[in-house]
A and B are shown apart, each in its own frame.
Chain A
Amino acid sequence: MARLALLLALLAGTAVAEPPDAARQDQLRHLVRQDCGSCHGLRLTGGLGRPITAGALAGRDAEDLAGLILDGMPGTAMPGWRPLLTEDEARWIADYLLTTETQ
Chain B
Amino acid sequence: MMLKAILAALMIAAPALAGELRGTGDLGLIVEREAGSLLVVDRSERAAIGRIEGLGDLSHASLVYSPDERFAYVFGRDGGLTKVDILTRQVVRRVVQAGNSIGGAISDDGRLVAVANYEPGGVKVFDAETLELVADVPMGSKTVGIADAPGSRFVVATWDTGEVWILDHSTDAAQPAITKLEGIGANPYDALLTGDGRHYIVGLFGEKGLVQVDLWQDPPKVTRFLPDYGKDQPDLPVYKMPHLQGWTLAEGLFALPAVGLHQLLWVDAADLTEIARTDLAGQPVFALARPDKREVWVNFAPPDNDKLQVVDVLTHEVLDTLTPGKGVLHMEFAPRGREVWLSVRDENRVEIRDARSRAVLGEIEARAPSGIFFTDRAHRTGL
Contacts and interface: CB of A to CB of B under 8 A. Distances in A.
Interface in B185-202: 187, 189
A46 B14 CA distance: 35
A103 B292 CA distance: 43
B24 interface: no
A75 to B, nearest CB: 8
Interface string A6-46: 00000000000000000000000011011101110111011
B100 A47 contact: yes
B102 interface: yes
A46 B189 CA distance: 15
A5 interface: no
A33 B57 CA distance: 12
A83 B262 CA distance: 15
B241 interface: yes
A79 interface: yes
A2 interface: no
Interface residues of B, number: 28
A48 B345 contact: no
B93 interface: no
Contacts of A96: none
A11 B237 CA distance: 38
A80 B144 CA distance: 23
Contacts of B205: 77
A83 B239 CA distance: 11
Contact of B240 (A35, A45, A80): A35
B381 interface: no
A77 B187 contact: yes
A33 B205 CA distance: 23
Nearest to A77: B205
A13 B57 CA distance: 43
Contact of A41 (B57, B187, B327): B57
Interface of B: 33-34, 57-60, 77-78, 100, 102, 118-119, 142, 144, 159, 187, 189, 205, 237-241, 302-303, 327, 345-346
13 contacts: A37-B59, A41-B57, A42-B57, A42-B58, A45-B100, A47-B59, A47-B118, A48-B118, A48-B159, A77-B238, A81-B237, A84-B239, A84-B303
